[in-house]
Structure 1
Amino acid sequence: MRASVIISTYNSPLWLEKVLWGYSIQTVSDFEVIIADDGSTQDTKMMIEAISEKTQLSITHVWHKDEGFQKTMILNKAILASKTDYCIFTDGDCIPRMDFVETHLSHRSLGCFLSGGYFKLPISISKKISKNDILNQDCFDLKWLKKNGLGSSIKNLKLAKNDLILFAFNMLTPTKPSWNGHNSSTWKKDIISANGFNNDMKYGGEDREFGERLINAGMKARQIRFYAICVHLEHKRGYVNKDVLDKNKDIRLKTKIEKQTKTPNGIQEV
């Protein structure tokens, strides 16, 4: 195994199943899947057991009791359960293109983390995508997407298949590379050195704060948003809370001002 794909999820078995079908047909197979489950019900566990029997995926289901949004804590537990030296992070609502894992592996380098993005789909198309649409890779085909209701947008170029265009986009994009929880990767030893994710942070900037500590430690962020492709399935976000967002902003500000490289409440504290 060359990599551990860590997928965060919470009570979204239908979306997670689509994501796992995407990982079942990757162009490389020497990776494990760690499900970082923030307290889902038995429905998610049953789905994982079923798809494990239907695919060759090596899946480990890491779960803890539902006590509110604790994504950072379950990610830390998943990292500890991983068995390789390289971790790819994504979410249970992001279906990977078949070259997703290979792209992360081919671009990885010491002293660096990779920063990817996603192609956001409307809820109507998210619901329409079937197992066969994933296995056939139709859900990454612009003609298929437009046929099923995707509107015209400059952002559609993210799914272009011209290597020269994609290279140019990665070099010219004004978006700075940052740690994005839906599509980023780095070495496990560097994650451990940063003490993983900050358990004090709930939703809103918790992924970015982790990446900011990596940069404070001297790591470089490399842009692969037009190489490592995944499509994002739309869903509701009932966990957004203004007070939590404000607290997270204060934590990030402290990380920046004090140039912190480790969190005091992270992977060693779970």
Structure 2
Amino acid sequence: MNAEKLTIAVLISTYNWPEALNLVLLSLLKQTRLPDEILIADDGSGPDTKALIDYYRSLFPIPIKHAWQEDKGFRKCLILNKAVKLSEAKYIIEIDGDIIVNPKFIADHARAASKGYFVQGSRAMLTEAKTIEIFKTKQINFHLLSNGVYSRFNAVRAPLLSVFFNPNPRSSWNVKGCNLAFWRDDYIRVNGYYNNFEGWGWEDYEFAARLINAGILKKRLKMAAISYHIFHPQHHRENFLPNELIYQKTIAENLSYCNSGYHEV
């Protein structure tokens, strides 16, 4: 599909961190190519987040659609499915609510979109000190040599070299939803994210595994669609092992559809 005719939604998951979401939305406002809609998947945030979203609605010339659910613990998959239900775009770029994106992020993803593939992007990381600084200054113009950026290779933007990175297209290992793009029709075909994941971990691996089992292959996007991860402490991992077992079952049984996902919300 012609990149200029492609309709794109940015899907952002968030929970009670409006300071970070503010910088994410600010980085989207600076895009050389705006998306056609923004989907906020809000896992039970308070009124500060709603007020922030309403503020940005006055700044963006595109719809910002806010899916919210009551805070009953970490239920990211469920709210992602609810947010995608609001989408009208053909292509979805998923990021987390702590991911600041380069001004050419949407344009780079649009060029990489191709039928039969989902796209795994990469991220550079910000230090704790840099995170404290940008919360104060709101200065988010990063580059390869910026102070406070590490995993610097992931901050190199050289789109013409992207074609030289071609890992196993049938591997779901290490897929991360913080910078992930897919066709909405493919998402619906595999029934989206699995609602029964609770707590942090493995939901993006498992979603990717079902896409691959359905014949939709992984494309790795390096040196383009650059993103920067705001520092935060690690999430609690009390459900890490039960979630891994769900992923392993999807792999072992070659599942391409889950029984509780997009269609069940």
TM value normalised by structure 1: 0.87
- Residues 1:211 and 2:217 are matched in the alignment: no
Matched residues, number: 255
Q: Which residue of structure 1 aligns with residue 144 of structure 2?
A: 142
1:146-166 Cα offsets, whole Å, 9 max, x none, are 2xx45xx6x313223445555
Match of 2:47 among 38, 42, 49: 42
Q: CA separation in 1, counterparts of 2:91 and 2:161?
A: 28
SS at match of 1:186: strand
Q: Which residue of structure 2 aligns with residue 103 of structure 1?
A: 108
Match of 2:139 among 133, 143, 157: 133
Greater fraction helix: 1
Q: What 5-or-longer segments of structure 1 have no aligned partner?
A: none
Aligned CA-pair RMSD: 2.1
Q: CA separation in 2, counterparts of 1:84 and 1:54?
A: 20
- Residues 1:226 and 2:223 are matched in the alignment: yes
Match of 1:256 among 251, 255, 259: 251
Q: Which residue of structure 2 aligns with residue 54 of structure 1?
A: 59
Aligned-residue offset at 1:235: 1.2
> Aligned in 2, Cα 1:226/1:142: closer, same or farther, shift over 3 Å?
closer
Aligned-residue offset at 1:48: 1.1
1:74-101 Cα offsets, whole Å, 9 max, x none, are 0000110111111111100000101111
Does the CA-based 8 Å contact 1:118-1:225 persist in structure 2? no
SS at match of 2:154: helix
Matches of residues 140-219 of structure 1 in structure 2 within 5 Å?
A: 140-143=142-145, 145-146=146-147, 149-150=148-149, 155-163=151-159, 167-168=163-164, 170-171=165-166, 179-202=175-198, 203-219=200-216
SS at match of 2:58: helix
Q: What 5-or-longer segments of structure 2 have no aligned partner?
A: 1-5
TM value normalised by structure 2: 0.89
Identity over aligned residues, as a percent? Answer: 34
Aligned-residue offset at 1:246: 1.2
Match of 1:31 among 6, 26, 36: 36
> Aligned in 2, Cα 1:172/1:238: closer, same or farther, shift over 3 Å?
closer
